[in-house]
Structure 1
Amino acid sequence: MQEELQTMLKDCHLCPRNCGVDRLAGQKGFCGVDAGIMVARAALHMWEEPCISGKEGSGAVFFSGCSLGCAFCQNRTISKGQSGKVITVEYLAELFLDLQAQKANNINLVTAGHFLPQVREALILAKEQGLTIPVVYNSSGYEKAEMLRYLEGLVDIYLPDLKYLEADLAGKYSHAKDYPEVAMKALEEMVRQVGTPEFDERGMMKKGVIVRHLLLPGHVRNSKKVLEYLYGTYGDQIYISLMSQYTPMPAMKDDPQLSRKVTDREYDRLLDHAISLGVTNCFIQEGETAKESFIPEFNGEGV
């Protein structure tokens, strides 16, 4: 199976972009990276959902490059594959074990899909060497369901986004009009793999799915559709995390809607809709969250 995955890098179709480039020969696809595992940060991270970070922090490994490439991306310094350190599979496994030694509550793989063969190999190696804490797969949601199947038994918690259910919006801001259908199929596979949420005695998640949705300014309608789909399809089988932390980045300064923050009224409308639907397994944000200080420095820490 691992050889099969490695071969895929030679004619890369790991993600829905289906670039077909030879990443083993140094070619870069839409994700912006070749086959070299590029990591921008590996450190304890305190800003995830409470059942992921806890008091000790989540062992977050931020991978460079991205297969989605949203126009409003808050992690542009790494999502374009322009910064990070290239490491081996063996060293990646060591990073996982080092984060466990630092008392991380879990290993949090942030945007790892374009390195799926290498990450899978590193997880197997780390588990053979004593990795026991849960593994979180933190994703944009723009994943092929058939690729996610290679992670079955290795990932305990899926933490995907469901950014859009309006194809035109996905096309405008992520050049991916197929995002809704792709993300829905991916989520179905994630839920199939890990099932009903489980927590330990401290309230930390051991297994399950948390779907994140970032409310975009001026697009409450899209967010309501996302909520209706998630709760109507999965009910209490998943948790939903509704985020108001959209931070206007310089690239969006001329956009009439995305050049500003989400208003309190917009977020309250979304929360009211969640209540009206009967959503209870839900994380919300309070106070001032749209700050660049919430975006970690990608300076190679821990790598």
Structure 2
Amino acid sequence: MGFQPSYLKLLESGELKRRVETAYAHLEACDLCAWKCRVNRRAGQLGVCRTGEKAKISSYGPHFGEEAPLRGWRGSGTIFFTHCNLRCQYCQNYEISQTDAGVEVEPEELAEIMLRLQHLGCHNINLVSPSHVVAQILAAVLIAAQAGLRIPLVYNTGGYDSMESLQLLDGVVDIYMPDMKYADAEIAKRYSRIPNYPQINQAAVREMHRQVGDLQLDENGLATRGLLVRHLVLPNHLAGTEAIVRFLAQEISPHTYLNIMEQYYPTYRAHWYPEINRRITPEEYRQAVEAAHQAGLYRLDR
């Protein structure tokens, strides 16, 4: 028997429908990301994410710039959600994450997009910046699965996720792909304007790994299930790479699949901060990779 996505079991049992109902109830005092604004989004109130009852998307389509186990040869079916629950001052996609550009969609429309990406041959549905629209995603997955969606779901997140959301996603998401951006809370607050990031991020990654385990690949090298972590190297060692790779190796798994990213460049408001207003050096990147190896991590996507 071939691959079967996790959400089909919940669809068959009726649990997926119950998850949708529960998630929409959470919107009435929203705690679906780690900010826990407690606003009533169903009544039009807006919290930090600036998103009401409807999800807003900026674009979608096959993406060939993702990690090899996701992009394969037909691309990862990315859906970029407008807004983000982080405020990264150097965000390379700030037009999407920090502005209001995009189109509001009903769950039925979002489901149709998922099915369209599957029809195009994409290997998975890649939900980019999904933390604030978990309820809407669950509603769309229910509709799409009933209509024939059969490819893995990738939860591509900045890593500032609430336990409430992750519990709703348990058994729905096949592949978790969180960022681990910072090891230090004050640095996170300075550059991404978020409180308690390391504590919340580490708890989220633990829960994600509990749900799906280490990244599993099929005979073609495509990801089918598991955890894939991204870490962006920042100038002047500000991301705390050594502490993050040590956490992954010792407290998650030495088999963690980790993408150590070197593509940082100063954009958006990075010029406000002299210490990050430059690209990283080859030596800084080499040191980050060496730290991962020394910690015991060996599944590195570079």
Fold shared by both chains (TM-score > 0.5): yes
Map 1:54-73 to 2 at 5 A.
54-73=72-91
By how many angstroms is 1:269 displaced? 1.0
Match in the other structure for 1:96: 114
- For residues 133 and 144 of structure 1, the distance between their equivalents in structure 2, rounded to whole angstroms, comes to 25
Q: Aligned with 1:27: secondary structure?
A: coil
Contact 2:118/2:124 (CA < 8 Å) preserved in 1? yes
- For residues 61 and 119 of structure 2, the distance between their equivalents in structure 1, rounded to whole angstroms, comes to 12
Coordinate RMSD, CA, aligned: 1.4
Percentage of identical aligned residues: 37
- For residues 239 and 135 of structure 2, the distance between their equivalents in structure 1, rounded to whole angstroms, comes to 37
Q: Aligned with 2:87: secondary structure?
A: coil
- For residues 271 and 237 of structure 1, the distance between their equivalents in structure 2, rounded to whole angstroms, comes to 15
The 3 A distance-change label for structure 1 pair 104 and 38 is: same
Q: Aligned with 1:170: secondary structure?
A: helix
- For residues 56 and 96 of structure 1, the distance between their equivalents in structure 2, rounded to whole angstroms, comes to 15
- For residues 151 and 96 of structure 2, the distance between their equivalents in structure 1, rounded to whole angstroms, comes to 26
Unaligned runs of 5+ in 1: 285-303
1:31 corresponds to 2:53: no
Instruction: Report the residue type matching 1:125 in the other structure.
Output: I
By how many angstroms is 1:76 displaced? 1.0
Instruction: Report the residue type matching 1:61 in the other structure.
Output: I
Contact 2:214/2:257 (CA < 8 Å) preserved in 1? no
Q: Count the aligned residue pairs.
A: 284
Unaligned runs of 5+ in 2: 1-17
Normalising by structure 1, we get a TM-score of 0.90
Match in the other structure for 2:129: 111
By how many angstroms is 1:275 displaced? 2.2
By how many angstroms is 1:171 displaced? 1.3
Q: Aligned with 2:269: secondary structure?
A: helix
Match in the other structure for 2:232: 214
Map 1:1-303 to 2 at 5 A.
1=18, 2-219=20-237, 222-284=240-302
Contact 2:31/2:164 (CA < 8 Å) preserved in 1? no
Contact 1:38/1:85 (CA < 8 Å) preserved in 2? yes
- For residues 235 and 151 of structure 2, the distance between their equivalents in structure 1, rounded to whole angstroms, comes to 37
Deviates more, 1:89-98 or 1:64-73: 64-73
- For residues 255 and 102 of structure 1, the distance between their equivalents in structure 2, rounded to whole angstroms, comes to 42
- For residues 118 and 226 of structure 1, the distance between their equivalents in structure 2, rounded to whole angstroms, comes to 31
Contact 1:248/1:260 (CA < 8 Å) preserved in 2? yes
- Cα displacement string for residues 62-84 of structure 1 (whole angstroms, at most 9, x for unaligned residues): 00111122111111111124111
- For residues 283 and 255 of structure 2, the distance between their equivalents in structure 1, rounded to whole angstroms, comes to 29
Contact 1:208/1:238 (CA < 8 Å) preserved in 2? no
The 3 A distance-change label for structure 1 pair 250 and 110 is: closer
By how many angstroms is 1:10 displaced? 2.1
Contact 1:32/1:81 (CA < 8 Å) preserved in 2? no
Normalising by structure 2, we get a TM-score of 0.90
By how many angstroms is 1:96 displaced? 0.4
Deviates more, 1:165-174 or 1:203-212: 165-174
- Cα displacement string for residues 26-68 of structure 1 (whole angstroms, at most 9, x for unaligned residues): 2221112222210111100111111111121100000011112
Q: Aligned with 2:200: secondary structure?
A: helix
